[in-house]
Amino acid sequence: MFGLGWPEVSIILIVALLIFGPKKIPELGGALGKTLRGFKDEFQGMDDEQLPEGEEADAEYRD
């Protein structure tokens, strides 16, 4: 994980908790999740648009 071990990750989480507080962390996690979901949806939409017509039907059956 980018060369980070568990001690480094735990220190980062503790610092984030001190900076943002326990009430703000879930809100930030939710916003991050929505952002990542939006990126995922956009990339999937781009993949569908780039397929030739004959392969679109095949892609539907693969999903």
Q: How do the pLDDT tens digits run along the chain, 63 residues long?
A: 578 899 998 999 899 999 989 899 889 889 989 999 998 888 887 766 665 555 555 555 555
pLDDT, residue 49, reads: 60
Is residue 14 within 8 Å of residue 7, measured between CB atoms? no
pLDDT, residue 22, reads: 87
Q: What is the pTM of this model?
A: 0.48
pLDDT, residue 19, reads: 92
**Residue 29, CA distances (Å) to 5, 20, 24, 36, 45 in order:** 21, 12, 9, 11, 24
